[in-house]
Amino acid sequence: MPGGFAPRFAVEASFLILLGVGAGYADLRPIVIVALLAGGWVVVSLIELAVWRSQARPVGAYIPPSPPVPVVTQEEPEPEAEPAPVDEAPAEDEYPLRLGAGETPSEEVEEYTRVLGAPAADEREPEVAE
């Protein structure tokens, strides 16, 4: 119901009063009158909830924070550091593998990696049935 809170409140209060008077005039038992008015109050509350949720609420405008202003200071340039000498071989504690790890292949590695190689001596070629 457009027009604000006061007219809507008057209509809802009138509804509840007329509901109670009509239930009393119908000569209903008091417990039935109380239950009828409780049901009317629930209906009025649901109407109020629907009106409250349907009203548009203004949303504040989002203003993003301003970017930080860079601070310019007058500093003397640092002298360039000399590059560290480059060693040909890494130190023993820096290199995770043992020294000379890839120089000679081991039998274990060869057996493990021989997937597409020639078949082993104990394997036979499959026979083709004619």
Domain range annotation of the chain: 5-54
pTM score: 0.41
Instruction: Enter the tokens of residue 23.
Output: 């239930």
Give me the long-range contacts of 35-41 (CB less than 8 A, separation at least 24). Answer: 40/15, 40/16, 41/16
What's the pLDDT tens digit per position in 3-49?
677 888 899 999 999 999 999 999 899 999 999 999 999 999 999 89
Identify which has the larger pLDDT, 48 or 129.
Answer: 48
Asked whether 22 and 36 are in contact (CB, 8 A), the reply is no
For 59-116, what is each residue's pLDDT tens digit? 777 888 888 888 777 776 676 767 666 656 555 555 555 666 666 666 766 666 655 5
- CA–CA separation, 42 vs 49, rounded Å? 10
Q: In this predicted structure, what is the pLDDT of residue 21?
A: 93
Residues with Cβ < 8 Å from 106, sequence gap 6 or more? Answer: none
Structure letter (DSSP) for residue 40: H
- 8 Å CB contact between 11 and 21: no
**Per residue in 27-38, is it b (16+ CB within 10 Å) or e — as a string?**
eeeeeebeebee
Model pLDDT, residue 99: 62
Residue 7 host element (H or E): helix 5-25
